[in-house]
Chain A
Amino acid sequence: MHRHELSVLTALKEKRRMSFGELLKQSGLGKDEAVWAISNLEKQKLVVVKREGEYELRISKEGEDYAKNGLPELAILRKASGKGASMADLSGKEDQIGISWAKRKGLVEIEGGRITVTEAGKRASREGIESGTALRELHKDSTAYKKYRGSDAIKELVQRKLVEIKEKEALGEVEITQQGILTLAKDRQAEESIEALDRSAIKNRSWAKRRFQAYNVKAPVEAAVVAGRHPLRKTIDDIRQAYLGLGFTEVSGPIIEPAFWVFDYLFVPQDHPARDVQDTFFLGRPSELNIEDAQLVDRIKKEHEAAWHGEWSKQVAMRAVARTHTTSVSGRYINKVIGEINAGKKYELPVKLFTIGRNLRNETIDPKHTTDFYQHDGIIIGKDLTLANLFDVLTKLYKGLGIGNLRFKPMYYPFVEPGVQLLGKHGDEWIELGGAGVIRKEITGIERRRINVLAWGPGVERILLVKKEIDSIADLYGSSVGWLRKMGGV
């Protein structure tokens, strides 16, 4: 007999029967070990096991409403009691649901648009509806489910999606049999078979004269948890690989920026809605940040005032913000590389750079929106670069990410001209992946004949969403262990 089996029988010897939970305590075994041992013992008829249904019960929001305010068919009965009511009196979704169930349950009859309450309906008005009573009790105390298990009321509540029930079988009470007691006594004397192999047995070969105890290889165990990378991290890794494969060099830049690098340098006018407090996080500490290059500030001021009319304010450009896109990093590098080329530094063109980073936007957090999101931004700085080149590099990049079917559409962004919207095929649908284009010369400060810049900055989460079924992107930025384990794997 295996020592775990022995532990179970020993624990049961005195009291004869106990709950699985108590047995775990008494035997000192882990859950997997105990389940395994009990299932072995049960086969040998040394213990008897009662199995009971465990369950998880969840009441939907609609269900909660009804639990508090009563089922909508009851409201219909109230409305139609006495002289009856007309279909025209009913309005709203509640009423629609109510009348359909009231009719189905035979609580009302409808003729020529008149609703009258039947005998069954009158009884229901007095005594209530079983499913309604059950819902109310379940809402008060979920253990009430035991009373209703398998009833029509429960079937109805589940069908109406008012409650959700997951049943699973679990061990309940374990009782030792007479044969179990006898076997326990015998086994204590005779220790013939080997349960666990140990160091001394291997060394002195004592195992050779004995039999190995056979295990029940079918006994259930809880699978080991495999720690892994975050799904978003894996997506970021994939994107890095794709860029490396295309010969791009990685760069990065600050999250906290003066508005200048996030907006003004990128030719976003100072009254643009994206700069609204509704979209961008403005910082209080620090509230302003210096813009290092006074000459650049002058040039950008001139470009803005010529193009957008009205006055451009340096003060507004100095406001400290959390960046709302990684295009600020691209901007910093466009400025750096072209500045250095202008200053005579030799670059081997084209220069191909990318960054993958986190951005923050002032969103209300719900399943579809998070404040945090990643973007991958790429730029190619070179001579004679074309829109056709841009399409080529994006096609290759996304092919590398497993999105083989891309489409390009015209799109307006203040910083590019031509502007491109990137769409990827997911099933039968085209989904928006993000923006791209050729950077305006007002930004680069150099004629396009001499140097131009291809740029793009699509979202990262989109790529993950295409590949994995994720209900709520808000889950991405939490650390619920259950979710991480569910999303784990390759």
Chain B
Amino acid sequence: MPVTIHSKKYMLKVLGFKTDDKELVKNIESMGPNVKRITAEEIEVEYPANRPDMISTLGLARAVRYYMRRSRSFGYSVGKGDGLKISVGSHVSKIRPYIAALVVENMRLGEDDLLDIINFTEKLSNTYGRKRVRIALGLHDMRDVHGPLTYDAYEDEEFVPLGSKTKMKYSAVMGSDKRGKRYEKLCREGDRYVALKDKKGTMSLIPVINSERTRVSASTTRMLVDITGGTREIIEGTADLLAADFIDRGFKVSRVEVAYGGRGRMLPEMKVKKFSIPLKQIDSEIGVTIGFNNAILLANKMGHEAALVGKNIRVSSPPYRLDYVDEQDIIEDIAVGYGYDYIQPVPVLSGTMGNLEAKSRRLDSVIETMIGLGFEEAMNSYLTNEETNFSKMRQENKKDYVNITNPRSGLATMLRTWMLPSLLKGVGQSMHDSFPLRLFEADMVFGIRGNAPEERYHLAAVSCHSKANFNEAKAALEGMLRALGSECTMTETDNRSFIEGRCATVEVDKKSIGVLGEVHPEVLTRFGIEEPAVGFEIELSEWLNPGKESAAGRD
């Protein structure tokens, strides 16, 4: 979950009532966020990814106020505005087609308010906005904004970027500024750059940087907020969220007209989503009996307005709720309002018999048998690299394995095709432990057949000590197979991982199931093993899933 650090002093200021740490933490956590840390100065809160309205300190405090029943209803009214208009040009249609905007008026910003607003908008565009891909925001002081505005992709030109004293070309910002480099892909298409302009020129190179001219400060009293992105519903929803946030700070918000060609949209819309849910359904999904009056109260606690209509409860959801909202979400909110801590567990009535997969039971007897033979069970990563899987084992890499395109380290670049390499690696790391070293693993390996991935179960075992030899491994494997009700035969074979003449193919019912032998001294050296070692690796899939070739579950 994403994290915000709130100033505690500011939090208490916007909460508007006195509370102690314990009560505050309890109420925040009951709504879903986790309080990671609370000190005299700060509260560090993980907020749920679907609740960007809780990113700002004001938004979190607003939720707490509702939850603690200090607020009961919302009424968000926005002004008509003074006719400010943004015309959207045709060149943004492929790169960043949508814009919404709003004007905030009567602002009296304290340093703490400004800090909260800047943190909020930054975090909003990084998390909910997917690092400005989905949403980017710009804040502008209206003092020096001269409408009408145009939003389009323009050819290279000059402006003074925020924090700079001199004019720079768009292209120069891309090359020199670290944000330019990071967001160039989102801003530039061919030789055009996405920007918002007024009569005096560039207000913002989007989503990279604003102009110095429209810089917002604590003395700003009128502010324009622009929101851009690729999905209309999302950026217009964000405009609602921001408008609600500013109104709850005591400011006035008025609309801006956004025109795509001829049609104009007056934004923000301040959409209130309405739902009508039978009370019976709420009770039967949560598993408690709530009652009408209580249902209204619980909806209120989560910031909704609610009323009774027949046997239904009618809920109006505030415009700042951007999470995908249908009646399922409202029912969850009512459960959260009720408090998960107060929901009494109720048994599911059913008389089913538990049952294991046949595979699990069979794998279990293989494990049991190997332990009976004195081998210790190892569990290694499914991931390995070509060096361990092939080179160190003196095997050729035939590129017939499942590989990874985005490994973080050279240690995990492919899915293992066999398990002996990881066991030998483990033995090599255990030279200081007392001998004999006997390890086995019974688990999955991966391969490709045709274009389809294969998931198979193998059993591999290694025994390492001064007197380890072929017959020891053979005796162990034959004993193991006999315990499982099978007999095997061995045929001499060449395998570069093993000593020539001391290696065999293992066959059951004339079908090869694996290999057994004395590990080649060169292999031993590569794994740092200083004593002789013997080992085997066999296919188990047939035992585990009789009659089935590939791993279970894939249709």
Listed in ascending order, the chain A residues whose CB lies under 8 Å from chain B are 222, 225, 227-230, 232-233, 240, 243-256, 271, 273, 277, 281-287, 289, 292, 307-310, 320, 322, 329, 332, 348, 350, 352, 358, 360, 362-365, 370-372, 380, 382, 384-389, 391-393, 395, 407-412, 417-420, 438, 440-441, 448-449, 452, 476-482, 484-485, 488
For residue A362, which residues in chain B have a CB less than 8 angstroms away from its CB? 406-408
In the bound complex, do residue B371 and residue A408 qualify as a contact, i.e. CB atoms below 8 Å apart?
Answer: no
Q: Of the candidates B234, B288, B377, B425, which one forms a contact with A229 in the assembled complex, judged by CB atoms under 8 Å apart? A: B377
Query: A227 near B31 (CB under 8 angstroms)?
Result: no
**Complex alpha-carbon distance, A198 and B401, angstroms:** 57
Q: Quick check: is B198 within 8 A (CB to CB) of the other chain?
A: no
Given A271-B133, A449-B281, A358–B377 Cβ distance below 8 Å? no
Does B426 contact A479, Cβ atoms closer than 8 Å? yes
- Residue B553 at the chain A interface, CB threshold 8 Å: yes
Residue from the list A250, A452, A477 in contact with B360, Cβ < 8 A: A250
List the A side residues contacting B329 at CB < 8 Å: 417
Pair B427/A251 contact, Cβ less than 8 Å: no
Residues of A near B422 (CB, < 8 A) are: 479
- If A227-B376, A320-B453, A362-B406 touch, whether A252 touches B553 (CB-CB below 8 Å) is yes
Q: Which 8 A-B residue pairings sit nearest by Cβ, starting from the closest? A: A479-B426, A386-B287, A388-B287, A244-B354, A253-B553, A479-B378, A392-B345, A418-B332
When A222-B434, A285-B448, A417-B329 are in contact, do A249 and B354 touch as well, CB less than 8 Å? Answer: yes
One digit per residue, 1 when the CB lies within 8 angstroms of any chain A CB and 0 when it does not, for chain B 350-379 equals: 111111110110000001000101111111
Q: In the assembled complex, how far is the CB of residue B460 from the closest CB belonging to chain A, in whole angstroms? A: 11
Evaluate whether A388 and B345 lie within 8 angstroms (CB atoms) in the complex, with A249-B352, A409-B29 already known.
yes
Known contacts A230-B379, A386-B286: does B328 contact A481 (CB below 8 Å)?
A: no
Asked if B299 is at the interface (CB within 8 A of a chain A CB), the reply is no
Partner of A230, one of B355, B378, B401, B434: B378
Which B-chain residue is minimally distant from A249 (CB atoms)? B355
Q: Is the CB of B381 within 8 A of A228?
A: no
Show 20 A/B contacts (Cβ-Cβ < 8 Å), sorted by A.
Answer: A225-B376, A227-B375, A228-B376, A228-B377, A249-B354, A255-B444, A283-B453, A285-B402, A286-B402, A289-B453, A309-B233, A322-B382, A372-B382, A388-B344, A389-B347, A391-B346, A410-B336, A411-B48, A417-B328, A479-B378
Check B406 against A277 for contact (C-beta < 8 Å). yes
Taking a contact as CB atoms closer than 8 A, the residue among A286, A332, A484 that contacts B378 in the complex is: A484
Indicate if the CB atoms of A271 and B134 lie closer than 8 Å. yes
Among B374, B430, B451, the residue within 8 A (CB) of A286 is B451
Q: How far is the CB of B48 from chain A (nearest CB, A)?
A: 4
Complex Cα–Cα for A369 and B337 (A): 35
Cβ of B312 under 8 Å from chain A: no
Residues from chain B with Cβ under 8 Å of A251 in the complex: 357, 553
Q: Which residues of A contact B133 (CB under 8 A)?
A: 271
Chain A residues positioned under 8 Å from B341 (CB to CB) = 407-408
Could you say which of A253, A384, A441 contacts B328, with CB atoms under 8 Å apart? A441
Residues of B431-482 whose CB lies within 8 A of A: 432-434, 437-439, 441, 444, 446, 448, 451-453, 455
Give the residue among B287, B399, B555 with the most A Cβ atoms within 10 A.
B287
Cα distance, A424 to B281, chains bound together (Å) = 30
B-side contacts of A287, CB under 8 Å: 405
What is the bound-complex CA distance between A332 and B552, given in angstroms?
A: 12
In Å, the complex CA distance between A251 and B328 comes to 28
Q: How far is the CA of A281 from the CA of B335 in the complex (A)?
A: 36
Report yes or no: B32 in contact with A387, Cβ–Cβ below 8 A. Answer: no
In the complex, the answer to whether A476 meets B379 with C-beta atoms within 8 Å is yes
Are B335 and A412 touching (Cβ within 8 A)? no
- Looking at the assembled complex, report how far the CB atom of B483 sits from the nearest CB atom of chain A, in whole angstroms: 15
Hey, which chain B residues are within 8 Å of A229, CB to CB?
367, 371, 377
Given contacts A245-B354, A255-B382, A481-B430, contact A364 B328 (CB under 8 A): no
Q: Is the CB of B348 within 8 A of A392?
A: yes
Check B350–A352 contact: CB distance below 8 A: yes
| Residue-wise interface mask of B (129-143) relative to A, using a CB-CB cutoff of 8 A (1 in contact, 0 not) | 010011000000000
A292 B555 Cβ-Cβ under 8 A: yes
B219 in the interface (beta carbon within 8 A): no
Q: How far is the CA of A289 from the CA of B402 in the complex (A)?
A: 13
Q: Is A247 within 8 A of B357, CB to CB?
A: no
The residue of chain A having its C-beta at the shortest distance from the C-beta of B235 within the complex is A309
A389 in contact with B287 given A249-B354, A253-B554, A417-B328 (CB within 8 Å): yes
Interface string of B375-392 (1 = CB under 8 A from A): 111111111000000000
Across the interface, B381 reaches (CB within 8 A) one of A350, A370, A419, namely: A370
Taken together as a complex, chains A and B put the C-alpha atoms of A320 and B404 apart, in Å, by: 10
Please indicate the chain B residues that have their CB under 8 angstroms from the CB of A372 in the complex.
381-383
Give complex CA distance A307, B322 in Å.
11
Judge if B409 is at the interface, Cβ distance under 8 Å: yes
Within 8 Å by CB of A388, from B288, B367, B401, B444, lies B288
Give the number of residue pairs across the A-B interface with Cβ within 8 Å: 266
Q: Are A273 and B130 in contact (CB under 8 A)?
A: yes
Please name all residues of chain B whose beta carbon is closer than 8 Å to the beta carbon of A283 when the two chains form the complex.
402-405, 453
Given contacts A388-B344, A418-B335, contact A271 B382 (CB under 8 A): no
Please report the C-alpha to C-alpha distance between residue A386 and residue B344 in the assembled complex, in whole angstroms.
11
User: Across the two chains, which residue of chain B brings its CB closest to A406?
Assistant: B345
Most buried by B among A252, A441, A488: A252
Cβ-closest chain A residue relative to B400: A285
- Residue numbers in B under 8 Å from A441 (CB-CB): 328
List of B residues within 8 angstroms of A482 by Cβ: 430, 432-433
By beta carbon, the residue of chain B nearest A362 is B408
Q: Is the CB of A388 within 8 A of B346?
A: yes
Among the listed A289, A358, A392, which residue makes an inter-chain contact with B382, where contact means beta carbons less than 8 Å apart? A358
The answer to whether A386 and B451 touch across the interface, beta carbons within 8 angstroms, is: no
Contacts of B508 in A (CB 8 A): none
Chain A CB within 10 Å, residue with most, of B32, B48, B328, B345: B345
B284/A225 in contact, CB under 8 A: no
- Smallest CB gap from A374: residue in B: B379
Query: A289: which B residues are within 8 A, CB to CB?
Result: 453
Residues of A contacting B427 with CB < 8 Å? Answer: 479, 481
| Interface residue from A233, A244, A365 paired with B379 (Cβ < 8 Å) | A233
Partner of B377, one of A230, A382, A388: A230
Contact yes or no, A247 B353, CB < 8 A: yes
Q: Return A379 CB to nearest CB of chain B, in Å.
A: 12
Q: Are B350 and A350 in contact, with the CB atoms below 8 A?
A: yes
Question: In the assembled complex, how far is the CB of residue B392 from the closest CB belonging to chain A, in whole angstroms?
Answer: 15
Report the Cα distance A284→B386, complex, angstroms.
14
In angstroms, Cα B402 to Cα A320, docked, is: 10
Chain A residues near B353 (CB-CB < 8 A): 247
In contact, B348 and A310 (Cβ under 8 angstroms)? no
Q: Which of B49, B348, B376, B452 has a CB less than 8 Å from the CB of A350?
A: B348
Q: In angstroms, how far is the closest chain A Cβ from the Cβ of B553?
A: 3
Question: B395 at interface (Cβ–Cβ under 8 A)?
Answer: no
Q: Is the CB of B348 within 8 A of A307?
A: no
Given the known interface contacts A244-B354, A481-B430, A481-B437, the answer about A282 and B408 at a Cβ–Cβ threshold of 8 Å is no
Does B331 touch A at the CB level, under 8 Å?
yes
A213 to B33 Cα, complex, angstroms? 74
Cross-interface CB contact of A255 among B355, B439, B446, cutoff 8 Å = B446
Chain B: minimal CB distance from A328 (Å):
10
| B503, CB-defined interface residue at 8 Å | no
Contact B346 A386 (CB under 8 A): yes
**Smallest CB gap from A448: residue in B:** B285
Question: Do B50 and A412 touch across chains, with their CB atoms under 8 A apart?
Answer: yes
Contact A418 B429 (CB under 8 A): no
User: What does the 1/0 interface line of B34-69 toward A look like (CB < 8 Å)?
Assistant: 100000000000001111000000000000000000
A407 contacts across to B, CB distance below 8 A: 341
- Given the known interface contacts A247-B350, A286-B451, A478-B429, the answer about A364 and B409 at a Cβ–Cβ threshold of 8 Å is yes
Contacts of B453 in A (CB 8 A): 254, 256, 283, 286, 289, 320
Rounded to whole angstroms, the CA-CA distance of A317 and B340 in the bound complex is 35
Task: Indicate whether A243 sits within 8 Å of B354 (C-beta atoms), given known contacts A387-B335, A478-B429.
Answer: yes
Is there contact, CB below 8 Å, between B354 and A248? yes
Residues of A within 8 A of B381 (CB): 370-372, 477
